[in-house]
Structure 1
Amino acid sequence: MTPTFRPRWFVAGDLNGFFGLVVDNLSILGFIALALVGIFGFPAEVVYTKMFPGTALGVLVGNLAYTAMARRLAMRTGRDDVTAMPLGLDAPTSIGMALLVLGPGFLAFRQQGMDAQAAAIATWQLGMASLVVMGLLKLALSFCGDAITRWVPRAALLGSIGGAALTLLGFLPLVETLRSPVAGLVTFGLLLYVLVARGRLPVRLPGVLVALLVGTTLYYALGLAGLGMPGFALPQGVTLTFALPVPTLHFIDGLPATVPYLPLLLPFGLLMVVGGINVAESARAAGDDYRTRDVLLVEALSTLVAGVCGGVAQTTPYIGQPAYKHMGARHGYTLLAGVFVGLGGVFGYLAGLVQWLPIAVLAPIIVYVGLDITVQAFQATERRHAPAVALAFLPSIAYLLVIKLGNPAWIAPEHHAALYNAGDGHGLPELAAIVTLGNGFIITAMLWSTALVAMIDGRTRRAAGVLLLGAALTLFGLVHSVDPRGGIYWPWTLEGLPKLIAWQFAGAYVVLAALLALLSLQKERPGSA
């Protein structure tokens, strides 16, 4: 140990790390903006001047903290090769916030009679409150992260997010990619070449940056030549607007609106804690021994700061810390990226960059992230638990079908009854079954996968206990909500067919749990494990 050792602030590899980290964050910000503005008709001004600054501030605060942690570790160990933990916006939950919380929330406020501007402000407050809820959960769980990994098997944790990744981050953005086939498919193919096949490029630039530049050039070149998509137009000039994110209590106004979305928000926070534990382990394996609790606390505090200051997407340490280390990055790249993103939210140039990046070029990055998370769900799980990972995908497919069939969260309340028309005599109405399976799909996936892992491991009574928990959660709408919007409720307030569906789903869990409990009383067969 050298007490007077002072590591360099910047090395050549930090430039590669900077581009990689900034592009990751830009792609997620871009997809959030394009989803809200393009799909839901959200006022762009609210996205760029109210949501972006606070969200970017969370990235700045987290990266500054991780830079300080890396520098302190380097000074303590006398090493000049310590790589900081990269922090940015979490892709699955950020896209999930846009598609499953903010967008539907905006339409719900509009259905209450609010004009677009008022509904957008109410949705912004909902997003802030959601971030505060997830941040507080992450803060509390930072001190018991190891216990969580003991209670919930890896197949359930990774399988539930893998299903969401495959459907929401894989399929939906792929559709957007193919709406501009030349630019989109070329960008996607280049990303697969450099990130999956590890192919070489003739230029010494980050592969993701090259793919973005090629795709964007193709998009605008074809459009200007009259060969692009119908209705092509250049983005309007962006006026740089100063918007300083300051702490506000507006999130309190949004807290009541978070209640219907708790079945999504709580698993989102839980998954980030587990992800933070895995990231800390991967960094430790690469030679940088960060304290897991410190990694989780920074993640939680940066999310809270973002939420209190107007942000709507949670931050997380990225799993690719060893990859940044292999790039030659140390701790200058997190400092540069944090300052670039943070100031970009304040001065508005992030909005300009996002508006000039076509969705067909941004979407392939999200598709790749979805594929990577899906593959990781299988690779990081024991082979014998693979069926539990696959099982966890099914509820998310139900939610995808709901989105494409006409998301009930976007349907006017007076039309809800159409979802619960009488069946054909052979069971519940098909759409009602799909909606009920899709509501609370992340928690449902975790329950199903946990129960199957317990069965595979011969812990049949544990599986029965998990199923009984599923029955209890079903009665209150935390999973299998019969409210088309996915809201929670008291079971005795239900009437008619929704009441029948809720009790049938809860009863199914109870009957299966009872059968498994009886089966657990059998004597073990000779030679069984």
Structure 2
Amino acid sequence: MAQLLGWKKGDWGAYFGLLANNLTNFFTMAGLLIFTVGMPAEFVYKRIAPGFGLAIFTAGFFYWYAGKNLMKKTGRTDVTALPSGPSAPSIFIVVFMVIMPIAKSTGDVYYAWRVALGWCFLEALIELSGAFIGDWLRRIIPRSVLLSALSGLGLLLLAMNPILQSFEAPYVAFVVIAVIFINWFGKKAVFPKIPTGFLILAIGTVLAWLFGQMDASGITEGLKQIGFSFPIPQFGDLFKGISPAMVFLISAIPLGVTNFIFTLENIESASAAGDDFNVRNIMLANGISSIIGSFFGCPFPTTVYIGHPGWKSIGAGIGYTLVTGFTVFIISILGLGGLFLGIIPLSAVFPILFYVGIVVARQAANETPKIELPVVFVSLFPWIANWALTLVNNTLSAAGTNAGQVGLEAFTKAGVYHRGLVALGSGAPISSIVWGCLVVFAIRNDSVKAIITAVTAAALTYTGVIHSPGVGFGLQPEITVGYLLIAGLFAYKFFADKKGLAGETDMPDQTA
């Protein structure tokens, strides 16, 4: 069985890490729908969750199969499959921009769910477009840019919260982190005969129960959720929701584009690590998995997850992604998630995500030519702003207020440049690529590509795809003009180079 699955010793660590990531998003989804929107828990667990699990299992199967094909094609046995799961940003967008407004205005949570199904279907169709332009984008966007943009995602969205949560549970997390440092960063493992994934889980669970972080009530509550619910086709509800979902297409377009950009970055990251997957097949798998989920009641699309180089570094093969998908599917149809979380502390698993974020960032530094190294750091800033903006807005929301009520002047006096955070942090997945391209094309003295990048950025800014909290025309006119001025500067540089007017830079290490 292990040989058929392509299972290796390193798959255990990847399995537990990816499973924790998927379960976190699973319970985020359920919690938002039940406690924020007000959907009945029974409806969420019996109508939505099974489709949610089926979509994840389908994606896991596709990426396992892609890994198996790559093994046959190359004759290698060290192929690592791509990880996948529900798109975390889409969970919040669907809940807060589609389901909640409709539920509040109509008083009908079931109608809101139908519209969300239609929205997910439309978003998946947009994701599918990546199958036809993904290779083209991969050719025109430098590898160093794709990897650097992904490193920002890894550090700020994948690693930052887990390390913060680890400091809230140091009795458990610190020892787990130390095991990771020794076994996955170091050269000689502690307890080498035990798979590190098992070791982390065992140590973390024992410490959590020993220091009173867990209690039996969690198990009791988890047992109450157990019950069989198989995915039921929801074609009628889906097609009823497509027409009203067209109104929300303005939010589906940028998220669909962002999701296939994420996928493209992860494919490039896997290629840099030695596993060159077919772009079109992976993009198709992404969109098809999301469509299957919507057919069975899940309004949240799937996506390729960050982390391939991290899982590869610990010796994972192709089996972990299939087994993770199957486990989430079983958990979703049997209602076992609450029981697992009642036994195993997330504080024992979060450090694995911290490790993966570090490895992704390290890959960007290792694979980027020394002269282009500034791109790694420039591409971080949109992600830093995105993380800080989310933190500020969530803090204000917890205090029962918002940025508009506080006022920009009060923010500025406190040294918080909220307007800048909104501008730089909105659309971070795409703007990090834009700024990375500007840096690399400047270093390569490729003014034509820099002009195209700047003009494209101006168009994206004018339409609100980047630098604005919502899509709309002319929301950031100053930034739009700023990009056009950058295009003008590179146009001057192009003609100056033609006439021999440009000189050497005054940075002594530019050719190092």
Please state which band the TM-score falls in when normalised by the shorter chain: 0.7 to 0.9
Matched, 1:314 2:302: yes
Shift in Å, 1:132: 4.0
Report the secondary structure of 1:216's partner residue: helix
Aligned residue identity for 2:334: F
Partner of 2:182: 193
Partner of 1:24: 17
Change (3 A) 1:277 1:417: closer
**What's the CA shift string for 1:337-387, capped at 9, x where partnerless?**
544333332222244324433232232222222222222222222222221
Equivalence map 1:265-344=2 (5 Å): 265-276=256-267, 278-279=269-270, 282=273, 293-309=280-296, 310=298, 312=300, 314-316=302-304, 319=308, 323=312, 326=315, 336-344=323-331
Matched, 1:220 2:209: yes
Partner of 2:381: 394
Q: Given that residues 419 and 432 in structure 1 are in contact (C-alpha distance below 8 angstroms), is that contact kept between their aligned partners in structure 2?
A: no
2:51 aligns with one of 49, 54, 65: 54
Partner of 1:237: 222
Matched, 1:518 2:504: no
Change (3 A) 1:316 1:85: farther
Shift in Å, 1:393: 0.9
Shift in Å, 1:142: 2.4
Partner of 1:460: 447
Partner of 1:210: 199
Q: Given that residues 102 and 123 in structure 1 are in contact (C-alpha distance below 8 angstroms), is that contact kept between their aligned partners in structure 2?
A: no
CA distance in 1, matches of 2:473, 2:495: 35
The number of residue pairs the alignment matches comes to: 489
Aligned residue identity for 2:52: T
CA distance in 1, matches of 2:412, 2:198: 56
Partner of 1:370: 357
CA distance in 1, matches of 2:138, 2:451: 20
CA distance in 2, matches of 1:471, 1:440: 13
CA distance in 2, matches of 1:325, 1:368: 11
Change (3 A) 1:517 1:322: same
1:141 aligns with one of 119, 130, 150: 130
Q: Which runs of 5+ in 1 are unaligned?
A: 1-7, 492-498
Aligned residue identity for 2:93: V
Shift in Å, 1:527: 8.1
Change (3 A) 1:359 1:321: closer
Partner of 1:494: none
Matched, 1:488 2:471: yes
Q: Given that residues 29 and 354 in structure 1 are in contact (C-alpha distance below 8 angstroms), is that contact kept between their aligned partners in structure 2?
A: no
CA distance in 2, matches of 1:429, 1:200: 44
Aligned residue identity for 2:492: L
Q: Given that residues 59 and 88 in structure 1 are in contact (C-alpha distance below 8 angstroms), is that contact kept between their aligned partners in structure 2?
A: no
CA distance in 2, matches of 1:350, 1:313: 20
Partner of 1:3: none
Matched, 1:101 2:93: yes
Matched, 1:86 2:81: yes
CA distance in 2, matches of 1:417, 1:321: 41
**What's the CA shift string for 1:17-59, capped at 9, x where partnerless?**
5534431332112322455577995577666555543333233
Matched, 1:259 2:250: yes
Partner of 1:184: 173
CA distance in 2, matches of 1:233, 1:273: 43
Partner of 2:459: 472
CA distance in 1, matches of 2:146, 2:163: 24
Backbone CA RMSD of aligned residues: 4.3
Q: Given that residues 475 and 503 in structure 1 are in contact (C-alpha distance below 8 angstroms), is that contact kept between their aligned partners in structure 2?
A: yes
Change (3 A) 1:340 1:405: closer
Shift in Å, 1:506: 1.4
CA distance in 2, matches of 1:76, 1:424: 57
CA distance in 2, matches of 1:341, 1:374: 28
Q: Given that residues 277 and 296 in structure 1 are in contact (C-alpha distance below 8 angstroms), is that contact kept between their aligned partners in structure 2?
A: no
Matched, 1:441 2:432: no
Matched-pair identity in %:
20
Shift in Å, 1:415: 5.3
Q: Which runs of 5+ in 2 are unaligned?
A: 506-510
Change (3 A) 1:430 1:336: closer
Name which of structure 1's ranges 210-219 and 134-143 shifts more when overlaid on structure 2.
134-143
CA distance in 2, matches of 1:107, 1:174: 31
Aligned residue identity for 1:118: V
Aligned residue identity for 1:30: L
CA distance in 1, matches of 2:73, 2:472: 53
Shift in Å, 1:284: 5.2
**What's the CA shift string for 1:401-460, capped at 9, x where partnerless?**
22222249959999564466469999x993222222211122211111111111111012
CA distance in 2, matches of 1:219, 1:417: 41
Aligned residue identity for 2:56: V
Q: Given that residues 226 and 336 in structure 2 are in contact (C-alpha distance below 8 angstroms), is that contact kept between their aligned partners in structure 1?
A: yes
